[in-house]
């Protein structure tokens, strides 16, 4: 019997929201149970429910007498998947309702199918009666903007003019960016190959020459993907290898390197460096680093290591260090909507302490005259400008190198969807020779 897509979506979103599991870990488990043709539908529902969770929760709360608890919670998420389909997908209403109700049987409780059916039918009636729809002025900010309240407060404080723009950008589906391996092809040469495959290009970033596609395609349809001629990487992440600007014979360290996109990009652009060491504390994530290196035909010394310690270090100082610090991930919410529900307000202080610890430790491994590029995929100032300013203020051998035209600006904060990129932060620091 074929797996019911709605049942799997309910299980997956329940695992993320109620059990705190990553969508990136959970979704592949469920995709493995279905036909390839159904993969897109399952992904769309799971990502959609997590994008619009407060709004969907608000709809369900108005339509049931009392909330489901315990083992019945998965059926709450089944109702969310049903309303998401009715509200945001092009699936015919009758199909969305019948398939979602049928999922109750797949979840081994046909009895609750009646409740699911009633909620979805009542939702349809509510939509038809437009007067019963709540004015957006009457709902709370989390429901209105589909973000947790603590996060909205932080974004309002950090970006008093742009806060709503940031929240709106987080709700958009992310574009697909690709990175051409320039050891194999020029940008112009690869654009020709894309044109031959009828893959349309929307934009080329002038700084990094990252290519943004008009619409996402399966990676195996990208010319030369299996042979390492191209990789998928957001335009913001592609700035790292450009900014660190490695020279021939440099000894380079990439800290917190998994999954290895930036490691590989540096090696592609700077094949004459003396060595590349890539470290990450998570051994499982380093599997991806090795896979990427192998596909691209590149070499690096890959080590499972804690960037906050020096137990792994052989004593050789580095000319260039990329520190892609552990962070809140608040710049990549449009790509990973589960971050909104997995990240908690009290995580930020712990993360900033860890960032300080790593930055202090890794700085001691940098040669005088060497460059450290500090990077996060966060948009929170305490992890970015405030963090870097604190480091500069407390160390007399740090020189900040401006990245933007405003030389007084500490680092470069990219906001979500700015230049169609993910939210990202970079700061360039040079070690003074005292």
List the domain range (segments joined by +) for residue 33.
Answer: 5-145
CB atoms within 10 A of CB 343: 19
**CA pair distance 269, 284, nearest whole angstrom:** 27
Of 292, 268, 241, nearest in space to 183 by CA = 268
Q: Is the pLDDT of residue 345 over 60?
A: yes
* Residues designated as active site: 377
Q: Does 203 lie in the same domain as 127?
A: no
Q: Does 398 lie in the same domain as 319?
A: yes
Name the strand (E) or helix (H) holding 105.
helix 93-106
CATH of the domain at 225: 3.30.70.1170
Residue 132: predicted pLDDT: 47
Tell me: the pLDDT tens digits for 194-235? 999 999 999 999 999 999 999 999 999 999 999 999 999 999
CATH of the domain at 46: 1.10.940.10
**CA pair distance 80, 119, nearest whole angstrom:** 10
Domain assignment present for residue 326? The answer is yes
pLDDT class of 109 with cuts at 50, 70, 90:
confident
Q: Does 318 lie in the same domain as 219?
A: no
Domain assignment present for residue 340? The answer is yes
Tell me: the pLDDT tens digits for 282-312? 999 999 999 999 999 999 999 999 999 999 9
Tally of structural domains, the chain = 3
Domain assignment present for residue 170? The answer is no
Q: Which DSSP string do the residues of 300-339 spell out, in sequence order? A: -EEEE--TT--TT--S--EEEEEEE-----TT-TTT-TTH
Q: Which DSSP string do the residues of 261-303 spell out, in sequence order? A: HHHHHHHHH-TT-SEEEEEES-HHHHHHHHHHHHHHT---EEE
Q: Does 222 lie in the same domain as 295?
A: no
CB within 8 A of 181, min separation 6: which ones?
228, 229, 230, 231, 268, 296
Q: Does 137 lie in the same domain as 9?
A: yes
This prediction has a pTM of 0.94
Residue 38: predicted pLDDT: 94
């Amino acid at each position: 019997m074929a797996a019911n897509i709605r049942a799997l979506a309910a299980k997956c979103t329940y695992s993320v929201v109620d059990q705190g599991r990553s969508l990136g870990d959970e979704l592949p488990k469920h995709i493995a149970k279905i036909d390839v043709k159904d993969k897109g539908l399952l992904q769309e529902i799971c990502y959609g429910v997590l994008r619009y969770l407060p709004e969907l929760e608000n709809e369900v709360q108005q339509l049931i007498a009392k909330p489901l608890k315990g083992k019945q919670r998965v059926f709450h998420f089944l109702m969310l998947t049903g309303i998401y389909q009715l509200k945001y997908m092009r699936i015919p209403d009758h199909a969305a309702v019948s398939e979602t109700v049928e999922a109750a049987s797949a979840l081994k409780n046909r009895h609750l199918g009646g409740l699911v059916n009633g909620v979805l039918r009542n939702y349809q009636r509510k939509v038809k009666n437009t007067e019963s729809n709540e004015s957006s002025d009457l709902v709370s900010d989390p429901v209105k903007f589909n973000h947790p309240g603590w996060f909205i407060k932080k974004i309002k404080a950090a970006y008093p003019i742009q806060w709503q723009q940031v929240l709106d950008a987080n709700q958009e589906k992310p574009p697909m960016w690709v990175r051409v391996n320039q050891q194999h092809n020029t940008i112009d040469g690869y654009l020709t190959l894309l044109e031959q495959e009828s893959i349309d290009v929307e934009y080329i970033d002038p700084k990094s020459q990252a290519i943004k596609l008009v619409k996402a395609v399966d990676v195996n349809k990208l010319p030369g993907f299996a042979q390492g001629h191209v990789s998928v990487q957001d335009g913001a992440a592609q700035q790292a290898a450009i900014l660190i600007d490695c020279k021939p014979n440099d000894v380079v360290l990439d800290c917190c390197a998994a999954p290895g996109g930036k490691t590989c990009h540096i090696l592609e652009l700077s094949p004459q460096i003396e060595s590349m060491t890539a470290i990450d504390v998570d051994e499982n994530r380093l599997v991806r680093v090795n896979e990427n290196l192998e596909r691209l035909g590149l070499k690096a010394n890959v080590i499972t290591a804690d960037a906050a310690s020096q137990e792994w270090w052989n004593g050789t100082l580095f000319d260039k260090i990329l520190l892609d610090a552990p962070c809140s991930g608040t710049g990549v919410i449009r790509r990973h909507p589960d971050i909104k529900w997995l990240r908690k307000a009290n995580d930020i202080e712990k993360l900033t302490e860890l960032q300080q610890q790593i930055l202090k430790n890794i700085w001691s491994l940098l040669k005088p005259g060497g460059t450290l590029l500090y990077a996060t995929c966060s948009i929170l100032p305490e992890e970015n400008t405030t963090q870097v300013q604190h480091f500069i203020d407390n160390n007399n051998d740090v020189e900040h190198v401006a990245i933007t035209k405003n030389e007084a600006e500490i680092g470069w904060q990219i906001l979500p969807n700015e230049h169609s990129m993910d939210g990202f932060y970079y700061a360039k620091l040079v070690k003074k020779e005292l």
